[in-house]
Amino acid sequence: MYERLNAYRIMWVLVHFDLPTETKRDRKNYALFRKKILADGFSMFQFSMYIRHCSSRENAEVHLRRIKNILPPKGHIGIMCVTDKQFGMMEIFRGRELVEAPETSQQLELF
């Protein structure tokens, strides 16, 4: 049980992107990509940056594959995994005010 709750085993997946919106098709691709990552459990952290808490590296790999399967035809997309420990060391500011990091969602795991 200890290993499952280890802050070095729990992962965060960060997806950040810059997608074109010049044409109607571009805007549709942007909206569809955003809709699909939200449906996969990602939350908006900043504009064009979405995060998802994963219970393990293996679980993060599942979501990485899903993101790679829905990549739009144009644009720049970055995907990064960090441990819960690394994510917890991030300092977040609004202006000059330090704010709390997003809460870890508690998910029920069924085996």
Strand spans (E) along 49-109: 49-54, 76-83, 92-94, 97-99
Tokens coding 91: 């300092």
| Residue 110 pLDDT greater than 90, yes or no | no
Within-domain flag for 107? no
Q: How confident is the model at residue 8 (pLDDT cuts 50, 70, 90)?
A: confident
Q: What is the pLDDT of residues 41-95, one digit of tens each?
A: 999 999 999 999 999 999 999 999 999 999 999 999 999 999 999 998 999 899 9
d(CA 88, CA 91): 8
CB atoms closer than 10 angstroms to residue 37: 21
**Full-prediction pTM beyond 0.95?**
no
d(CA 56, CA 8): 9
Within-domain flag for 85? yes
- % of the chain exceeding 70 in pLDDT: 88
| Residue 108 pLDDT greater than 50, yes or no | no
| Residue 2 pLDDT greater than 90, yes or no | no
Which residues form the domain of 17?
Answer: 3-99
Q: How many domains does the chain fold into?
A: 1
Within-domain flag for 108? no
Within-domain flag for 88? yes
Within-domain flag for 41? yes
